[in-house]
Chains A and B, each alone.
Chain A
Amino acid sequence: MRVKKSAVLLLCAALLPLSGCSRAEAALPYAHEIEDTVLMGALGVDLKEGAPGRVAVTVSSGGRSGAGDSPGQSPVVLSAQAETVSAACAEMQTFGSDFVFFGDVEHVLVGEEQALTGVMSLLGHMARDPELRLEARLWVIKDGRAGDILFDAASDGGAPDRLTALETDAELAASPAPRTAREVLSDLLDNGCALLPALERRPARTGDGAEGEYTVAGAGYAILRNGALAGWTGEEGALGADLLTGDAPGRILEFAAPSLAQTALRLTEVKTELTPSFTDGVLAGLAVTCRIEAQVAELRGADGLSEEGRIWLEERLAQTGEAAIHTALDLAQTLDADYLHLGRKAALAAPWRKAELETQWKAGFAALPISLTVTGQVARM
């Protein structure tokens, strides 16, 4: 009797899809053939030209090289415009017979005009969308549109590969440090400010490896305030930001002196400490202490490094670091944007002042006296 009951129930379950209950079928797993699916690796968002309030979304897949009898596939770049990113992505599904899959998007590019209006809505969409992921790297395009970058890169193997290379280059400190959308969203929700790596479109030149007319390269960082683009760090400010955030190890700095050979130093370690000072419970200042350690990467024109040369290099290293950090801090105070989240770091250094910092930091940051001490050390050849 029990077996009959179970069999009846199983039979009913098996017949359920035939009941015309389409929503029940919608809950069943579904699949797309990989050959009929285009995996998009990069997504770009710009403001539609001439139509404020509308967005232009451009997506690009990576190229697939052929193997055996299977032919390769060139990168596919699609673009659509709508009031929202969701609507634009949905419209792209109608472009051709293949299924466009956005779950593989590793890089999201935001054009400068779009960044000026704000990135919070895009990040909110990425947080809610089941395909897009907050683990994707977020980039801002300086003086340009994200769509242009993606279309240019189509002739160069596809934007996803190039962007992944830039992300890897950051370890060699040749590019700005990548940041995930999640990190940026967390920073923006914390105090409305964030640091985003910037890219720019440059004409290709012989020997840079680019196959097309243009290439994309790192361009420092973009500073966001209240969720929107407020300024750029430039190269010196980018170095200062990296020193303060600890992303500088691996960078190459070049120095030359009349008595010394051309020297390239590779940064190996950076330690930064923040110490807030208070007077009668009122935030009075911030002391920033930075110790930069480097090794000699290359010495041109000399057989070895003398003691005088080492001391000179250490002084120049400290001066360079100090100038860079000054630039980064001045930018933050001028824009009144604590994009380096120094307030959080100061609270970590002085937890007994947490309550005072929470109430006084935001209002007092722009005019806060900041003292800076940078020391350099050339630790080894």
Chain B
Amino acid sequence: MILFTALLSPAVRALPGWTVGTAGESAWLTGILAFPPFLLLGWMVFSLCRRSGGLAQAYQDAFGPLAGKVVIVIYLSWALFLLCAEGRLYAERMLSAGYRSAAPWVFLLVLLGVVLWMGRRKLGAFARAAEICYLVLALTLGLVLLFSILDMSPEHVLPVWITDVPAVTAATLVPVGVLSCGVFGGFLGGNVTRRSGDAERGLLWLLAGCGVLTLLQFGVLGQLGPALCGRMDIPFFEVARGVGVDGAFQRVESVVVALWVLSDFAMLGLLVFAIRKGAGAVLGPRWEHWAAPVAVIVAFLGGLTLFPDDFSVEKVSSAWVPWGNLILAFPVPALALIVTNVKGRKKTDTSCGEKRGKDTGYG
């Protein structure tokens, strides 16, 4: 639930605005095609966490204490970078949604202050807060998509044909790249109570998530058309402007934009908690306590100095961030899983060999 809530913010920012350039009106199919890679990612993280209780411990078990810590530091650095970028993007959205020329640092300061307050507490409290955020966002998203799909133009999303498959496949890199920052949820694996049916529940959430990605793009494309979607910063909020019933309610886009801060809060909170766990694994439990304030301060200063204007942060978020997420979400966990499996097999062979030796008098 934390992941679903946190990933809604980058999802509406990237989809379908970044997929239409490659896939045109077929871009909404990328939500369906993203299911296999996300399934692979989920399976890898689940397998690693099941054995070791968290990605930090899993990497140390797989690569060894020193190399594992180096890998964790890489993840922590990327998480800090994402904190800076996501925070700055949130501030940019607040400025563009408002009517006056305020300074971005004000919005960034307030949100990071709340994130810090939450980040110094237990993960369970954050999870409970995320449940409420999820409920609000799910209702809001459902309302906007319902109105958009009921009033859409079929020519904007159809027809789709086999000839669209190559373009749609290429465009699927966008949702996979943008949303694979969810791999940081694996760092919280050690705090999750194992229950039977976890795998099935995870699969259902994954299916629901991909369904949401599909419907989101379908509804937005159906309203705006592929060309207009590609021109807009966040097409989803433009569609929200049209939500309403004459004489009943209208002009709800400000409410939708304001409520989306809950997703930003969940995303920044997820990153802060992941940094806490990683810092604790690298530097010791004492540093886990100080990781949240340090991360928030770095996010505030980094968000304003690394990205002095909107253009720089948008360029980075569309060009660099997806590739960084892909590298940390797929090859690294895959390598860790392979190494862990090989080590596990060697241990099994060794213990079998010792047993045979005892039986035959050797060893």
Using CB atoms and an 8 Å cutoff, list the residues of chain A in contact with chain B: 23-24, 26-27, 30, 127, 130-131, 133-135, 182, 185-187, 189-190, 341, 344-345, 347-348, 351-352, 354-355
Contacts and interface: CB of A to CB of B under 8 A. Distances in A.
Contacts of B106: 23-24, 27
Interface string B238-256: 1001100000000000000
Given A190-B225, A351-B161, 4 more contacts: A130-B97, A130-B98, A134-B241, A190-B227
Contacts of A182: 223-224, 228, 238, 242
B232 interface: yes
B159 A127 contact: no
A182 B204 CA distance: 37
A189 B221 CA distance: 13
A127 B232 contact: yes
B305 interface: no
Given A127-B231, A348-B159, A27 B225 contact: no
Given A134-B241, A135-B242, A348 B103 contact: no
Contact of A348 (B155, B232, B241): B155
Nearest to A355: B163
B100 A24 contact: no
B354 to A, nearest CB: 56
Leading 10 A-B pairs by shortest Cβ distance = A351-B159, A189-B227, A27-B102, A23-B103, A186-B225, A27-B106, A26-B102, A344-B155, A186-B228, A355-B163
A352 B96 CA distance: 42
A61 B181 CA distance: 49
Given A127-B231, A185-B228, A190-B227, A26 B101 contact: yes
B99 interface: yes
A348 B158 contact: yes
Most buried by B among A130, A134, A186: A186
Contacts of A351: 158-161
Nearest to B107: A27
A341 B223 CA distance: 16
B152 to A, nearest CB: 11
Nearest to B156: A186
A190 B227 CA distance: 6
A354 B227 contact: no
A231 to B, nearest CB: 23
Interface in B96-118: 96-103, 106-107
Contacts of B223: 182
B103 A24 contact: yes
A354 B98 contact: no
B37 interface: no
A73 to B, nearest CB: 22
Contact of A26 (B100, B158, B163): B100
Contacts of A133: 241
Interface in B128-181: 154-156, 158-161, 163-164
16 contacts: A24-B102, A24-B103, A27-B100, A27-B102, A130-B96, A130-B98, A134-B241, A182-B224, A182-B228, A182-B242, A186-B228, A187-B225, A348-B154, A351-B158, A351-B161, A354-B164
Interface of B: 94, 96-103, 106-107, 154-156, 158-161, 163-164, 223-225, 227-228, 231-232, 238, 241-242
Given A186-B227, A341-B155, A134 B238 contact: yes
Contacts of B155: 341, 344-345, 347-348
A130 B228 CA distance: 17
Contacts of B163: 354-355
A377 B101 CA distance: 60
Contacts of A345: 155
B161 A354 contact: yes
A351 B26 CA distance: 12
Nearest to A103: B251
Contacts of B156: 186
A131 B99 contact: yes
Contacts of B161: 351-352, 354-355
B167 to A, nearest CB: 11
Nearest to B230: A189
Contacts of A26: 100-103
Nearest to B109: A24
Most buried by B among A341, A345, A347: A347
A27 B91 CA distance: 11
Contacts of A354: 159, 161, 163-164
Nearest to A16: B106
B224 A186 contact: yes
A345 B156 CA distance: 10
A350 to B, nearest CB: 8
Nearest to A101: B99
B159 A347 contact: yes
Contacts of B96: 130
A84 to B, nearest CB: 17
B256 to A, nearest CB: 14
A24 B242 CA distance: 31
A352 B159 CA distance: 9
Contacts of A30: 100
Contacts of A127: 231-232, 238
A355 B158 CA distance: 13
Most buried by B among A26, A27, A131: A27
Contacts of A186: 156, 224-225, 227-228
Contacts of B225: 186-187, 189-190
A195 to B, nearest CB: 14
Given A130-B96, A130-B98, A182-B224, A135 B241 contact: yes
A133 B101 CA distance: 19
B274 to A, nearest CB: 25
Nearest to B232: A127
Most buried by A among B97, B101, B155, B241: B155
A183 to B, nearest CB: 8
A207 B258 CA distance: 50
A348 B158 CA distance: 6
Contacts of B99: 130-131
Contacts of B228: 182, 185-186, 189
Contacts of A344: 155
A182 B156 CA distance: 13
A36 B223 CA distance: 36
A245 to B, nearest CB: 11
A16 to B, nearest CB: 9
